[in-house]
Structure 1
Amino acid sequence: MTVKVKPGDDHDASHIPTKSFLFACNLVLQVLDKIGPTMAVLRQDIHQNIQRLEELYESDPSIYSNLVEILKKDQRESNARKGTSCSKALVWLTRTMDFTAALLERLAKDPEQSMEQVVEESYSITLKPWHGWISSAAYKVALKLVPESKAFIGLLMAEDEDYDMLKEEIQSLISLLLPLQEGIHSTLRKFCLDKLKST
């Protein structure tokens, strides 16, 4: 997957490829599927946000192949901060990607660390600042149901794969995600959407 992110100084110069972002989001769903049914609510939320962006993209791929155009549309229509907007979907998908990258990075660094600790640390720096008390409470319940690190790593590995190969794959994925995420965060700041909190 080749990602060309051009943050630019103004909205017109920015280009963040919608399809690349949605592809990466679907990879996150695959990771959550490995964790199991404890992540069902989060998975459903992510899936709905992906669908919202996909539907708009498919309505006119020539325009909405750039995520910035999606943000501009919501801004023009004064919808950006509304519950079912594509802008809000993008904000939460971006944060979910941050959480997933942080979780995988911590897991790759220290596979012996408890999964609960990995999830807790990743959550604290990525999602917790933006969650209200309901979301935080739901997270605490899900945290008690996550598998142990070794079991989770085993679920992530392909049949003929060892831990070193998985670690390499995780590092490759993170190196692809980081420039994409940086471009999106920069753009969300320009549209004043970076401080949105959950209700």
Structure 2
Amino acid sequence: MKSSRRETEKRSEICSAIEELSMMAIVKPGGEDHEFAHIPTKPFLSLCYLVLQVLDKIGPTMVVLRQDVHQNIKALEMMHESNPSLNSNLVEILKTEAKEGNARNESSCSKAFVWLTRTLDFTSLLLQTLAKDPEKIMEQVVEEAYDVTMKPWHGWISSAAFRVTINLLFFSSIV
């Protein structure tokens, strides 16, 4: 009984997060002309902070992903804060890193941006699935979203760690 009440509370919190995320607007690059591509840094980071809130609502299962997301947000935030007017457009930050040959560095904003967009894909699919079928088991929804959005980019160690974490955390929430 207590478990189903907690699950209902989580689902309503997730529904609230869906509404909040859907109100966030980010300008998407249009057409083939990348010269005018613009992704405003601050709104993008605000959206990413909302994703952290969604991951928190899902529970401890997402703690590792949450930490990665937070680190990636901080990397982009530090770049933005170093020169807010120059770094107000994420596309320009990524272009600059590419020109300087730093885009593939482990600590680059380019890598942070790539992983944040992958996390946004994961969160979006997770929320869409829950919106379509609120009765679906959370563990299944998380696994399906992971398989489609994150797994293709993870090595076997990360994938195995994810599976173990999911199984342990969801099993412990049942007990």
Greater RCO, CA 8 A, separation 6+ = 1
Q: CA separation in 2, counterparts of 1:137 and 1:86? A: 27
CA change 1:28–1:145 in 2 (3 A) is farther
Offset of 1:26 from its aligned partner?
A: 0.4
What's 1:136 paired with? 159
Q: CA separation in 2, counterparts of 1:37 and 1:143? A: 9
For 1:42, give the aligned amino acid: L
Q: CA separation in 1, counterparts of 2:45 and 2:58? A: 20
Equivalent residue pairs, number: 149
Q: 2:48–2:116: 8 Å Cα contact kept in structure 1?
A: yes
Q: CA separation in 1, counterparts of 2:58 and 2:25? A: 27
For 2:130, give the aligned amino acid: L
Q: CA separation in 2, counterparts of 1:17 and 1:146? A: 36
**Is 1:87 aligned to residue 110 of structure 2?**
yes
Offset of 1:4 from its aligned partner?
A: 2.4
Q: 1:5–1:17: 8 Å Cα contact kept in structure 2?
A: no
1:39 corresponds, among 62, 65, 90, to 62
State which drifts further: 56-65 or 136-145. Answer: 136-145
Q: RMSD of aligned C-alpha atoms? A: 1.9
Q: 1:17–1:67: 8 Å Cα contact kept in structure 2?
A: yes
Offset of 1:10 from its aligned partner?
A: 3.7
Q: CA separation in 2, counterparts of 1:55 and 1:109? A: 37
TM-score by length of 2: 0.78
Q: CA separation in 2, counterparts of 1:146 and 1:8? A: 43
Q: 1:53–1:89: 8 Å Cα contact kept in structure 2?
A: yes
Deviations 1:23-61 (A, max 9, x none): 111011111112223322211111010000000011111
The equivalences for 1:92-131 within 5 A come to 92-131=115-154
Q: CA separation in 1, counterparts of 2:31 and 2:113? A: 19
Q: 2:60–2:169: 8 Å Cα contact kept in structure 1?
A: no
CA change 1:28–1:118 in 2 (3 A) is same
Offset of 1:145 from its aligned partner?
A: 4.3
Offset of 1:133 from its aligned partner?
A: 1.1
Q: 1:16–1:68: 8 Å Cα contact kept in structure 2?
A: yes
Looking at secondary structure, tell me which structure has more helix per residue. Answer: 2
What's 1:68 paired with? 91
Residue ranges of structure 2 left out of the alignment (5+ in a row): 1-23
Q: 2:29–2:39: 8 Å Cα contact kept in structure 1?
A: yes
% identical aligned pairs: 64
Deviations 1:148-188 (A, max 9, x none): 9xx9xxxxxxxxxxxxxxxxxxxxxxxxxxxxxxxxxxxxx
Displacement over 4 Å in runs of 4+: 145-148
